[in-house]
Amino acid sequence: MKIKTIEKMINFKALFKIIKEVVQPLEIEPQSFVKDKNLTLYALDKKSRYIQVSAFFDLEFNRTIITILILTEKLKNSNQKIQITNKQSLYQSINYLEAIKYSKRTKIDYNELEANLLKKIIVKIKSEFDYKDRLLKYPFSLTPDFDDINLYAQHSSFLDIIERNLIEYGIDHSHIFRNYDFAKDSEIYQRIIDMIVVSNKFIKQNEDNDYMMLFFYSHKSQTNFSLIELVRLSEEINNYSKEIRKTLKSKDRVIKPVLIILSLNGVKKSLLTYLRNHIYGESSHAIPIFIIPPNKSKIWHNLNEDRSLSDNLTRRKNEVKNKIRSLRMVSNTSHYRKDHIESETKRLSEIKNKITSVEKNHDLVDIFSEIFHFNTS
């Protein structure tokens, strides 16, 4: 299956016309239909591949979702068509008995057909509805797994909860992207990240040019999320933020990436150890990482937010300030005294920066703990 999320609701009669133009000269089935809030077009190609293009509104979040699915040929003469009219029916279609099995669907010819149709539809949508992808494309090493209906539906439901919390917190819904495909136009496989949030809402007022970019990755697998997967994904996200930085017109704008992993089946202990040992801010390659759902009301993260450390740093800061004050009171113009003052001033600056970092981390953990909290039961 190929899936495309449009971050606005578009006219379905016009979209149906676009889809018909794209699939021609394929044989369009008479069961195809278009309504105000959904549409489905069935077509059969020369290789007897049965194609279904569906679209529906996600009314809660003001989105249009388009799917392309290849079915088995025997549905051609069947009245039991798959009707994808909302999110719930989308989840049901993922593991539908008459859909081409996932092992077969990974073949190049199926993916090429789906990808080519979707690309042509998107080109016309961009022209007809003044739409464009707002995020920079990037070759993330991710491919969507639509094979497990239960995990896909469960993760999507929890992301709905988080999105509602984000909007309630004050994030504009136009800055939230679901099932965003980062694949370039030349690719036939999608590179989907479940949810992206771009906002400066999490940043203090004195950093108006700083934006956070939250990457939500749902681990839709029966196995635990591994350390190797974490390292690879966090490095790619870090590199992606650097690529964005190069394209920004305002060079003083900063993009701070954050990775949030949604894994209902848990994570490996080695990964949690990694998070605790790689404190954000003390390692140049580390980015903030959160793992949800909470474990006993605690969200795992790699941020140093120990307020007791901040208290110790404050005492050290006062000690250094007193030392600098004493040195300046000495009527001695020697180079040793000047160098000593310069050294202590530098040390004072480093301590202040660490205090600021701890306080920011503590605030961020508080905010995210509230937004990411949900009851898995």
pLDDT at 92: 67
Q: Which residues contact 55 (CB under 8 A, 6 or more apart)?
A: 12, 15, 38, 39, 40, 64, 65, 66, 67
Query: For the range 202-209, what are the long-range contacts, defined as Cβ-Cβ under 8 Å and sequence gap of 24 or more?
Result: 202/364, 202/367, 203/256, 204/360, 204/363, 207/254, 209/250, 209/252, 209/253, 209/254
Both tokens of 355, joined, read: 């205090």
pLDDT at 209: 78
Given the DSSP bridges, would you call strands 50-58 and 289-295 parallel, antiparallel or unpaired? unpaired
pLDDT at 96: 47
Alpha helices in the chain (DSSP H): 12-23, 87-94, 102-105, 108-129, 149-169, 227-247, 269-277, 307-329, 335-371
Q: Tell me the C-alpha to C-alpha distance, in Å, between residue 215 and each of 51, 58, 243, 366.
A: 32, 21, 15, 18
pLDDT at 204: 67
How many Å separate Cα 155 from the centre of its chain?
Answer: 13
pLDDT at 103: 43
How many Å separate Cα 63 from the centre of its chain?
Answer: 16
pLDDT at 98: 46
* Stretches in the chain below the pLDDT threshold 50: 96-98, 102-103
Q: Tell me the C-alpha to C-alpha distance, in Å, between residue 191 and each of 141, 183, 368.
A: 7, 5, 26
